[in-house]
Structure 1
Amino acid sequence: MMKKFTLGTLALGILVTSACQNTSQQNEEAEKLATEAIEIHDEIMPQITAFNKHEILIDSLLQNLSVLKTVDANLDTAKTKDKFHTLKENLESATDKMMVWMKEYVADSTDINYQKAEVDRISDLKTEFEQVTYEAESLLAPFKK
């Protein structure tokens, strides 16, 4: 009877130890993913300041389209106005998505699938930030002094 108890206790001990190791490994993997998500966030977050400056410039340019037309008689003001509005919407959308991500993100979650999904989500946002930055630099370059 003593052997059964000892073997049962030993088996239980092995199961508990194995489960603890798996949990520890899962926590470690989730932490790595969380760190990756935050690093991507930290890389793109400062761009919001530039986005805000671009929006101010766009507002100024939209208010002064007639002046721009006098400087460049070939300027299609209707087309330019549409481009500025689209760019401003894209800048605002990217900024809003970042604010939502920061509000919703649970950095201390130990759910590996959740953390993987969030790394994907913030990576997609990084791509969007890069596209909007390129769009802004391309469109606004001629108007910057």
Structure 2
Amino acid sequence: MKKLIILSIGLTAILSACNNNKAAKETEDQKISEQAIQIHDEIMPQISVFDHTTVKIDSILTNLAGIKAAHPAIDTTNTRTELSELKTKLEDATDNMMTWMKDYDAVNEDKAYQQKMYDRVVEMKKQFEDAQAGIGKSLAVFK
């Protein structure tokens, strides 16, 4: 009887340890997923700003000759290049967000997958920050 009790206690301890490890792993995976979603939620609202800015850039590029007439000091060649590059940055950032959202599977329990998706969204945040800085720099003249 004593052996049975000791065996039962030992088996309970082993199962408990296995369950604790599984719970810790799930918690870690969930934490990575939650961090990825948090970053997504932080940068996602910028897409509407990027879309609006892209339309504004198109308008400026279309009317650049008229703008040059009103403001002769503007270098239209550099302005066209700078605004075209900014538009590309904004579109790339938006496209990357759409691709990430399409690809992301929040219920995937693979830690490597969650880490990869987290790393992608961190890179995307940097891309969004760079694009946002470009808006302030390139469009300051046109406000």
TM-score normalised by structure 1 residue count: 0.88
How far the C-alpha of 1:17 sits from its partner, in A, is 2.3
Query: What is the root-mean-square deviation of aligned Cα atoms in Å?
Result: 1.8
1:109 and 1:11 map into 2 onto residues whose CA distance is: 33
Q: Which runs of 5+ in 1 are unaligned?
A: none
Unaligned runs of 5+ in 2: none
**Higher relative contact order, chain-length normalized (CA < 8 Å, sep 6+):** 1
Moved more, 52-61 or 26-35: 26-35
| Number of residue equivalences | 143
2:24 maps to which residue? Answer: 25
Deviation sequence 1:60-110 (CA, Å, 0-9, x none): 001101011112212221221111111111100000000111111111222
Task: Tell me the distance in 2 between the aligned counterparts of 1:141 and 1:49.
Answer: 19
1:87–1:135: 8 Å Cα contact kept in structure 2? yes
Using the TM superposition, give the Cα deviation of residue 116 of structure 1 relative to its aligned residue in structure 2, in angstroms. 2.4
1:47-66 maps to which residues of 2 (within 5 A)?
47-66=46-65
1:134 aligns with 2:133: yes
The reply to whether residue 76 of structure 1 matches residue 80 of structure 2 is no
Cα deviation, residue 50, structure 1: 0.3
The one-letter code of the counterpart of 1:50 is: V
Over the matched positions of the two proteins, sequence identity in percent amounts to 38
2:90 aligns with 91
Counterpart residue number, 1:16: 15
Q: Could you tell me the TM-score, scaled by structure 2's length?
A: 0.89
